[in-house]
Amino acid sequence: MSGKPVSFDSHPPHGHPENQGPSTQNVDRASTASHPPSIKPDPTTTASHPKLNPHGAKGVESTSSSSSPAQLSDLKVRLRNALRQYPDFPSKGILFEDIMPIFSSPKLHADLVQALELEVRAKFDKTPDVIVGLESRGFLFGPSLALRLDAGFVPIRKQGKLPGKLETEGYEKEYGTDFFQIQSDAIAKGQTVLVVDDIMATGGSAMAAGNLVKKIGGDIVGYLFLMELEFLHGRDKLDAPVVTLLSGQDAESREKEMPLGQTKESAEDVKSVQDAGGAAASKRP
Task: Tell me the catalytic residues.
Answer: 137, 174
Contact assessment for residue 90 and residue 97, using Cβ atoms and an 8 Å cutoff: no
Give the span between the Cα atoms of 168 and 223, in whole angstroms. Answer: 19
* Cβ-based neighbours of 43, under 8 Å, separated by 6 or more: 36
Q: What is the DSSP string of 139-198?
A: HHHHHHHHHHTT-EEEEEEETTS--SSEEEEEEEETTEEEEEEEETTSS-TT-EEEEEEE
Give the span between the Cα atoms of 48 and 262, in whole angstroms. Answer: 49
Give the span between the Cα atoms of 83 and 66, in whole angstroms. Answer: 28
Give the span between the Cα atoms of 16 and 45, in whole angstroms. Answer: 37
Contact assessment for residue 240 and residue 193, using Cβ atoms and an 8 Å cutoff: no
Give the span between the Cα atoms of 242 and 162, in whole angstroms. Answer: 27
Give the span between the Cα atoms of 101 and 97, in whole angstroms. Answer: 11
